[in-house]
Amino acid sequence: MTNIRIGAFPLEKDAQTCFELPSCKHPGAEVEILKMVFRLIGVNYTVIDVWKEFGEVYDFGAKQADGNWSGMIGLLQKDKLDMIGLSMRISTDREEAVLFSYPTRVFQSVFVIAPPTFTCTRQFIFNAFSRTVWLFIVFFVILLYLSDLLINYFKLKGVHPDKPYHRLFLDLFSTSISLYNISARVLLLVILITTFLLSQLYQTDMYAYLSAPLTFAIPFRTTKEALDVVEKKKMYFAAYENQTFLCTQSICNRYQQAIKKNPVRRAFREKEVQNLITNGGIYQSTVDSALLPGQLSWLNEKQKYLIIRDEDAPSYYVAYSFSKKYKKMVDKFNSALIEVLPAVSLITTGHGYNTRKIPFEIRTTNPRSPLSINNHLWQLFRSFIISSSVCLIVFGLEVLFHFLRSFRFSKSYSLALFISLNFLTVL
């Protein structure tokens, strides 16, 4: 009687620890579906752990440069296996090497990253306004100051039309516009109104910033954005040793460009790949699209890794695969699989195998946080130091201009000017 050698390796939820044992009650979703089908067609089988038997680790199969295949597809070609007991992505290259059963599920390409950090660190002093608003305020202050200088200039020019420019420049910064009652009052009124409006807006925005929910900094949302991040070397792609990237023809070239600038970091074992992800890696995987609630979700209940789903990313059918010599067996398998297909969704979510992914909340549910001495008081003190430093610099400039203006009318200035002119005459 025919005995089908079925290869599999431990895979979370699909092939659990005891999957190769006939007495295992919860072998995993994929293995459980497989056993149901073989029970219907009445064919003997043996499940082999290819990790223990052949040392194959998380490698379904990739075509090598010499035309041979690695992983479990390679074991099929070497006649060490008759069937792969885990459904894998159907592709044109793989169809040339194996026979696929009917598709069992639809998987979508996703990215897995470490949980992001908050975008807001409660820097309420400067973050209350955007950079554009701050630039506008600085520009407005400079514009008011220049307006004041312009009014002073015309006043001095009217009073002293023949005064040299260097003396006019020194007098310009020490002259008030009190003689121009109308223009001075209009300018002062504009400054007061503007200051009042800006202060009210700043107070409102600062309170809103402190009480608004904290949001997470998601590094990218789409495949193109992920490639941009990798090209800029802010993150990198993490993968298993023989893993290839899934991409459409329109974007595969971008993958090559990004990888050329920032090479892929590969590992052999699951723990090593997890460490790469934790340290800033982007791992490409496939997840049953029926389990994904939206664009962002947690990978598992531990909420240790984040799934980013690009709505435009390609979807793939997955199916069991057989050696090319088992065409009749595939037909028999498919006839029984049709009867099991309606229960696939129940099996994949039964026995705690898979559950619908938990949506990732981009904002915190408890946004309010008390003011702290280390963070918020330090921001106020830092702002005070910066403002005081600016005032001291302006004060120093005023003292300098006053000294130069006073020195100009002193006897020392006249003597120094006389000596300089005589020295130039002698030269």
- In this prediction, the residues of the chain whose per-residue pLDDT falls under 70 are 1, 118-129, 158-160, 163-188, 209-213, 301, 303, 364-380, 401-402, 404-427
Domain of residue 324, CATH code: 3.40.190.10
Compute how many other C-beta atoms are within 10 angstroms of the C-beta atom of residue 33: 23
The verdict on residue 361 lying in a domain is: no
**Residue 287 three-state SS:** strand
**Residue 305 three-state SS:** coil
Same domain for 331 and 284, yes or no, is no
Same domain for 82 and 43, yes or no, is yes
Q: What is the pLDDT of residue 195?
A: 77
Same domain for 206 and 231, yes or no, is no
Same domain for 332 and 380, yes or no, is no
CA pair distance 298, 295, nearest whole angstrom:
10
Same domain for 299 and 338, yes or no, is no
**Residue 63 exposed, middle or buried by CB count within 10 Å (0-12, 13-18, 19+):** middle
Among candidate residues 211, 236, 269, the one where a domain is terminated? 211
The verdict on residue 115 lying in a domain is: no
Range of the domain at 64: 3-104+318-352
Q: What is the pLDDT of residue 421?
A: 47
Same domain for 150 and 200, yes or no, is yes
The verdict on residue 90 lying in a domain is: yes
Among candidate residues 308, 331, 362, the one where a domain is terminated? 308
CA pair distance 297, 363, nearest whole angstrom:
13
Same domain for 240 and 289, yes or no, is yes
Tokens of 57: 């680790």
The verdict on residue 10 lying in a domain is: yes
Residue with tokens 């190769």: 20
The verdict on residue 19 lying in a domain is: yes
The verdict on residue 369 lying in a domain is: no
Among candidate residues 211, 237, 263, the one where a domain is terminated? 211
The verdict on residue 111 lying in a domain is: no
The verdict on residue 54 lying in a domain is: yes
| Contact (CB, 8 A) for 285 and 110 | yes
Indicate the number of domains in the chain. Answer: 4
Is the full-model pTM beyond 0.85? no
